[in-house]
Structure 1
């Protein structure tokens, strides 16, 4: 079994990225499990809070990462960049000795946006962070869902067959690369 921790970097209840992550989990091939999570409950990073204790939401994400064979970041794009709340969650997850959880971990990026360019800039903005954490990015596939309102229905389901096919191929490719040690 290949386990992938998937994290949606959006706080919005009807998030396109959470919908994309849930679709990815549903399209995972046999032998692959995507543990779909959000960043809800992660407070703004504050070393004073950290000294008192790690917030439960952060501990849960760290535990999920520790148990996973790979990490799937599902990133929105705000103002041509990564969302601050998502970066904040990764900062919490990687603070102190927990940074070792990221070292060498395979990671892939996907994202959905209502705009015409998908999440090109946000995905690019993540690369220095992933490099700093010592992660192993998977570059064999790329998925940026543009015009998300047209492919995700009012119930949050990924309704576009072509996008579902691309997402299934992406998930299978990433999971296969993890299983083969090719990331």
Structure 2
């Protein structure tokens, strides 16, 4: 049995202080046991992508994001769905992290994606868009049944995500992520 603790980085596509996506990631992080540990990276300080800024001096928040991605064995991204797509803040962060092209910290990085929505579809359209964006970054998006969380607001109690069925499904997905990490090691 593998006793290595895998370092995972969770990224929420929402900036809200009471974000349901962040609550989902926190619930998952608290249940990983001793197979992995997950830290969360907030996107609040990431400026809008501008290659002029990149040429002058990488903003400190962007450098921190890229360093966190570099040091993680794998990523877990949870995005809301806004207007049939992923959030602008998440897309922006991925644009920054994808630089330099073909040699970014996202290249060959195993990534598990999840989406949530207060609606009935759980963010499936955002998931599709996110999968396409990550494909362009040369990330290794985990191929498995999609994790979409419909009616997410109904699964939050006292700011915590409490849907045990979904948590179990997410934990199985983390097992798939860890297998992918070990394959690419």
Does TM, normalized by the shorter one, top 0.5?
A: yes
Deviations 1:94-151 (A, max 9, x none): 2226843111111110122111110101110122222211111111242111101111
Give the one of 144, 161, 165 matched to 2:164. 161
Q: Which residue of 2 aligns with 1:81?
A: 85
- List aligned pairs for 1:11-160, cutoff 5 A: 11-96=15-100, 99-153=103-157, 155-160=158-163
Indicate conservation of the 8 Å contact 1:2/1:31, yes or no: yes
Indicate conservation of the 8 Å contact 2:10/2:75, yes or no: yes
Once residues 116 and 23 of structure 1 are traced to their aligned partners in structure 2, the CA distance between those partners, rounded to angstroms, is 21
Deviations 1:8-41 (A, max 9, x none): 1111111110111111111113121112122110
Q: How many residues align?
A: 181
Q: CA deviation at 1:172?
A: 2.7
**Residue 104 of structure 1 aligns to a residue in which SS?**
coil
Against the structure 1 CA distance between its residues 139 and 150, is the aligned structure 2 distance closer, same or farther, given a 3 Å change threshold? same
Once residues 28 and 132 of structure 1 are traced to their aligned partners in structure 2, the CA distance between those partners, rounded to angstroms, is 29
Instruction: Give 4+ residue runs of structure 1 displaced > 4 Å after superposition.
Output: none
Unaligned runs of 5+ in 1: none
Q: Which has the higher helix share?
A: 1
Unaligned runs of 5+ in 2: none
**Residue 36 of structure 1 aligns to a residue in which SS?**
strand
TM-score, with structure 2 as normaliser: 0.89
TM-score, with structure 1 as normaliser: 0.90
Q: CA deviation at 1:170?
A: 2.1
